[in-house]
Amino acid sequence: MGSKPKIKIGSLISGGGTNLQAILDSCGQNKIDAVMHFTGSDNPDAKGLKRAEKANVETFVVDYPKIIKSLRTDPVNTELPDDFVLEKIKNTQKLFSDSASSEKIDFFLKSRAIAEKQVLDHILPYSIDLLVLAGFMRTMTPYFIDRFCNSASKPKIMNIHPALLPSFPGTDGYGDTFKYGCKIGGCTVHFIDYGEDTGPILGQKAFSIEDNDTLEDIKRKGLELEWQLFPECIQEFAESRKNQ
């Protein structure tokens, strides 16, 4: 019998890349019917890039902080992508509340579009089936989502979140879980949409929080489940693609 067909995946990271490592290991052990084609980061010092290089996965960096600084200090001479239409993206996004200032929203969307265009230039030539955000600490805007996914009915950007969504969206899921005094914590894998951590949920795992658990205990328990959940959800996606 021949080997199972494998989907093409890529990843974006910002830090240590422990979720990336779990995915790479699962691919190597044939627990996921997938091949990792690249790992990109917004942080040139992300340790996860070394993990990718060790696995012979191509890497790239798009320096978000440098782009944001450039737009802030010299907005006139900072070029936006040719296909960027501010009002269209602004009307589509669901990242900001109605009370947010127009100036803040405009700056965010412009700076992200510049960075996201560079990310797209790196990844689109690979023609991957799935992009996994394995600890990527940047919110994707409609500019990126629409150009990568092509169709809202076929999402293909998967994210891991450190809380049981829809509770505690945002960047500090485990910290918020701890501060709120929850007795149950967990992690969620979901597809990306135009909001912040609001996309369709693909899978969740939960753990008990004891009275004497510290924030570090909660993070440790959560990460151990993340390393199981993310590969499982990627494999489910791979199976669904084969059945289409």
Among the options 37, 122, 161, 190, which is catalytic?
161
190 is a catalytic site residue: no
Rounded mean pLDDT, 233-242: 91
User: Percentages helix, strand, coil for the chain, rounded to the nearest 5?
Assistant: 45, 20, 40
**Topology annotation, domain 7-242:** Rossmann fold (3.40.50)
Tens of pLDDT, residues 157-205: 999 999 999 999 999 999 999 999 999 999 999 999 999 999 999 999 9
Place of tokens 């008990």: 208
Domain boundaries of the chain, sorted by first residue: 7-242
Main-chain dihedrals φ then ψ at residue 163, nearest 5 degrees: -170, 170
Q: Is 114 helix (H, G, I), strand (E, B) or coil?
A: helix
Tens of pLDDT, residues 57-106: 999 999 999 999 999 999 988 999 999 999 999 999 999 988 999 999 99
Other Cβ atoms less than 10 A from the Cβ of 201: the count is 16
Full-model pTM: 0.94
Sheet architecture: strand order including 184-191 = 58-61, 34-41, 7-13, 130-133, 157-161, 184-191, 201-208
